[in-house]
Structures are given as C-alpha cells and as structure tokens.
Structure 1
Amino acid sequence: MTDDEKIARTHEMLKAWDACDWDAVAAMFAEDGVLHSVMKEPVVGRATIDAHLQPFRENAHDVDLQVKSIGVIGGRVFVERVDVFDYAEHHGEVPVVGILSWEDGLVTEWLEYYDRATLLRGMGAA
C-alpha cells in the first residue's frame, strides 16, 4: 500500500468508529490483526477484536474521533486525536495517539497510547 492509501484507509477506520459501525471496525482488521491499548494486554485476531467491541456496541454512542494530525513514518500511520464520546450515561474526552500498520488494506497492528484514568473517568468506570 502507498502512504496515501494507508492514510485513506485510516480515515475510513476512524469514520467507522464515528458511525459506531462496529462490524465495519472489526472487518478492517486482518484475521490475525492486533488491537493493543499499550497499558493492557493486546487483543489478537479479528474474531477476538469483534468480541472485544461488544461493550461498545451496547454502550457507545455519539463517538467523534477528532484528528489533530496524521502522517506516515516508517510505513506506519500515526494519528494524534481527541476521542470525544458518550458511553452509557457518561461523556468523555481523551487525547490519544494511535499507530496503525496496514497490509493489503487491513490493519495488522493498532497501538493506542492514552491516559487510561482519563478514559475510564469518561466512561463512568473510574
């Protein structure tokens, strides 16, 4: 994939999150893809990632992943953003840096860096 194709696919992924289209989110991962919030254990495999999204299916709405900057470094897409969301009865905002690796139009690895306490507070879990 070219750098432009990787950035375009990343925007498609972020739009799927914004639309709360969890089936589309899961489908954009490779069969053995990895979703890794780095302060937790990685979630490995499309089916496992799909199951991991279940709480979002049930509780997340009004998701807006606001991109501040995006670019490709060393073949990976780096996205600085602020995630604004309503989860259950709570509103949250959390700054995030995501790093996505793409192959054949599918995410092979997605690393997420954010302050977990801020995320949990926004979800009403803190």
Structure 2
Amino acid sequence: MAAALSDAEKIAKGREMAEAWKAMDWRKVADMFTPDGVLHSMMVEPVVGREAVYKRVSGLSDGLESITLNLRNLGVVDGTLFMERVDEFVIRGKAGSAPVVGVLEFEGPLIKVWREYYDRAHLLKAMGLVEDFDAKTR
C-alpha cells in the first residue's frame, strides 16, 4: 500500500485536479482516482469506479468551451482535503459560475472519495439547462 500523503501533498493534489479540469483533461481527472474511487455530487447518485468517473466527467464536456475551478480555500482536516471554490465555465457560449465545496479522501496518492456540495438548481440555471444533465444516466 502506498504511503499516505502529507497535508501539503493533498493540497497540491487539489491544485493539480483544478488544473486538469481547466485543461479539460478528463483522462487525467479520472486517473487521479483509485480504481474503485467514488465521485459523488451529493444531489445525485454516486459514480463508482475510475472508468465510470471518466465517463461522467468527459460527458460533461458536451458543449463545454472552458471551465476554471477558482480555488478560494484549501485545507486538510483530519486527513481530508476541503476545497472551497467557485467554478466558472462557458457552455454553448453561455458563461456561468457556481460556488462549490469539494471534500476529498485519499488512499495513498489517489482519491478514494470526492464529494461535491453545491446548489444543483443554481448550477443548472447557470449552465442554461432546463433538464438535469444527469437525468439521461438515471
């Protein structure tokens, strides 16, 4: 089993994840998870497994022109990384933003669980969507 990351290394991983999103490098995003890792936007069912995470995040890129995870505060509490941020994006020519808190648990150097807390209705409105983008996967 890989050695646990230091708090500073966990914060660096959070910054690395934000850069992967900005680059829209969905393979890198998914590869930062354990093979059985979980991505859970708290308002919908969790996505389980690295390949399922890849499918989920790469699917978000439909119409996505840019995305920046503007990190406001990062900190580690009891071994868990908390990332307060404002996500700004342009999708199909429409700019939007949403405040988010991500909570990441690590197993060695990889993310075991990533929970996202945000106002789902606010996000969908900011994206210019009438229907939830996860509706087709349920």
TM-score, with length taken from structure 2? 0.86
Shift of 1:54: 3.0
* Cα drift, residue 105 of structure 1: 1.3
TM superposition shift of 1:47:
0.8
How big is the shift at 1:63? 0.8
Take 1:108 and 1:59, find their aligned partners in 2: how far apart are those partners? 29
Q: Report which of the two has the higher share of strand.
A: 1
Root-mean-square deviation (CA), in Å? 1.1
Larger Rg: 2
TM-score (norm 1): 0.94
**Could you tell me how far apart the structure 1 residues matched to 2:55 and 2:116 are?**
18
Q: State the alpha-carbon separation in 2 of the partners of residues 30 and 87 from structure 1.
A: 29
Compute the displacement of 1:80 (Å).
0.6
Specify which of 59, 71, 84 is matched with residue 67 of structure 1.
71
The match for 1:26 is 30
Task: List alignment gaps of at least 5 residues for structure 1.
Answer: none
CA deviations on 1:28-51 (whole Å, 9 max, x unpaired) are 111000000001110000011111
Shift of 1:104: 1.8
Mapped contact 1:20–1:61 kept (Cα < 8 A): no
Please give the secondary structure, in 1, of the residue aligned with 2:62.
helix
1:85 aligns with 89
Match of 1:115 in 2: 119
Instruction: Report the Cα distance in structure 1 between the residues aligned to 2:47 and 2:63, rounded to whole angstroms.
Output: 20
Structure 1 segments of 4 or more deviating over 2 A? 54-59
Aligned positions, number: 126
Contact 2:65 2:93 in 1 (8 A): no
